[in-house]
Amino acid sequence: MRHWLEIFYRTSAGTLLRRRELNQDDGKKRAALAALTHVEDGMALGVGTGSTVDFFIDALAERPHRKLRLVSSSERSTERLGRLGLDVTELSAVGDVDLYVDGADEATQHLHLIKGGGGALTREKIVAGAARKFICIVDDSKLVGRLGKFPLPVEVIPMARSFVARQLVKAGGQPVWRQDFVTDNGNQIIDVRNLDISNPVEMETRINQIPGVVTVGLFAHRGADLLLVGSAEGVEIMT
């Protein structure tokens, strides 16, 4: 990998980016196809959000299962599922979810995650919480030793945005309002840089306790049960 990075740096940044995206997509697709092997007829299946999950949705539509009940974590995924002829059921009508499949912006070997790059963190956390099993699918660029290089998304009630931002500064972060973005729940997102997330469980608890926070995109209390890491070489399984 390092080899082709060096080669493409010497040509042009644009070419490098395209090559890297191709490589990443390969890993995403492999992880998504690996997750599909865990889907069984009759399951209540939670479907996450993002470009990695898009591969999962497309593969699911190509190989339909009988009597699946699908619960979606976003309007975006609901729309894609519907376009491919897959109907979605309300979580309240399904009860517990047998399996939840979703991507992540960062993941550790302890199966702690940062999620919410696509802004769907709240519904994702709800479906993950309702799931007996949560399989996270990522390409290998998402695997990190410590969470926090990716800005941590926090969904907030609009009137609380500035107050929450000040509390996040006290927690050591640099909050940035994700402007021109409204979540599926009508709320706003603050992306927080430079937080020390050496203890993801503690940080999740701390941020969740700030009044006005709807959800923090740390998935540590309820991390993944299985992490499937796709790369050009294959799929690594982490438990």
**What does the angle CA 202 – CA 204 – CA 209 come to, to the nearest 5 degrees?**
100
The closest of 216, 213, 214 to 197, measured between CA atoms, is 216
The closest of 151, 91, 141 to 115, measured between CA atoms, is 151
**Binding residue (CB under 6 A) for ligand 5RP from 27, 30, 77, 103:** 103
| Residue 140 found at the interface with ligand 5RP (CB under 6 A) | no
Q: State the nearest-atom distance from the C-beta of 51 to ligand 5RP, in Å.
A: 3
What backbone torsions phi and psi does residue 231 show, to the nearest 5 degrees?
-145, 180
The 3-state DSSP class for residue 42 equals coil
| Residue 102 found at the interface with ligand 5RP (CB under 6 A) | yes
* Pairing mode of beta strands 113-114, 174-177: unpaired
Residues β-bridged to residue 97:
131
Measured from the CB atom, the residue of 125 and 161 that comes closer to ligand 5RP is 125
Q: Restricting to residues 41-100, which ones interact with ligand 5RP according to CB under 6 A? A: 48-52
Written as one letter, the residue type at 29 is K
Q: Are 50 and 113 in contact (CB under 8 A)?
A: no
Judge whether 124 counts as a catalytic residue: yes
| Residue 155 found at the interface with ligand 5RP (CB under 6 A) | no
**Binding residue (CB under 6 A) for ligand 5RP from 35, 71, 101, 104:** 104
Q: State the nearest-atom distance from the C-beta of 11 to ligand 5RP, in Å.
A: 26
Q: Which one from 106, 124, 155, 204 is the annotated catalytic residue?
A: 124
Q: State the nearest-atom distance from the C-beta of 7 to ligand 5RP, in Å.
A: 25
Spell out the residues 6+ positions from residue 13 whose beta carbon is closer than 8 angstroms to its own. Answer: none
Measured from the CB atom, the residue of 54 and 98 that comes closer to ligand 5RP is 54
| Residue 116 found at the interface with ligand 5RP (CB under 6 A) | yes
| Residue 117 found at the interface with ligand 5RP (CB under 6 A) | yes
| Residue 223 found at the interface with ligand 5RP (CB under 6 A) | no
Burial environment of residue 233 by CB neighbours within 10 A (0 to 12, 13 to 18, 19 or more): exposed
Q: Compute how many residues bind ligand 5RP; rule: CB under 6 A.
A: 17
Written as one letter, the residue type at 84 is L
Q: Restricting to residues 118-137, which ones interact with ligand 5RP according to CB under 6 A? A: 118-121, 124
Burial environment of residue 16 by CB neighbours within 10 A (0 to 12, 13 to 18, 19 or more): middle
Q: Measured between alpha carbons, how far is 48 from 122 in angstroms, rounded to an integer? A: 11
Q: State the nearest-atom distance from the C-beta of 116 to ligand 5RP, in Å.
A: 5
| Residue 175 found at the interface with ligand 5RP (CB under 6 A) | no
Looking at the annotation, which residues are catalytic? 124
Query: Using CB under 6 A as the criterion, which residues of the chain lie in contact with ligand 5RP when the complex forms?
Result: 48-52, 102-105, 115-121, 124
